[in-house]
Amino acid sequence: MTRISNPEAVAWVLAAEGTITIAASNSKQRKYYYPSVSVSNTNERFIVEFKNMVGEYGSSLYKYYDRKNGHKPCYFWRITKIKDCLDFLTEIVPFLPIKIEQAELAIYYSKRRLARFKQYNSMDDEDYDIIDRIREINRRGV
């Protein structure tokens, strides 16, 4: 089921202004890894319009200030729920001009995690290899 009004435009925005990664969350009980898809820009209207284009995916908008360095506020759109990341990326991956490998790795990781959803500590070597590979691809200057 298509939930994005214009998946090609959304894919191009993600390619130009976005990030596809596996993020880590440190809770008191355990470290947890989850897929994350985000788009950021200093123009709030751009991010709000992007969220409208994306539609019903469980996404959030954030505003970040880096006052100590004198930067303008930055606005973020982000999906972090495994199922929403999987559905979103599956819908746009055919239209991505770049970041295809990151999207495919995040899709694969999401499917693996959903298959073992209630087994929180069920990370294996392949999961860590996926995380390492996506971080290597996303590293600046490489």
What is the C-alpha separation between 23 and 118, in angstroms, rounded?
A: 19
pLDDT digits (tens, 9 = 90+) for 81-135: 999 999 999 999 999 999 999 999 999 999 999 988 766 567 889 999 999 999 9
Tokens at residue 138, please?
A: 């996303």
Sign (positive/negative) of CA torsion 94, 99, 103, 109? Answer: positive
Contact 105, 93 (CB under 8 A): no
The full set of domain ranges for the chain reads: 7-138
Q: What is the pTM of this model?
A: 0.89
- Overall fold of domain 7-138: Endonuclease I-creI (3.10.28)
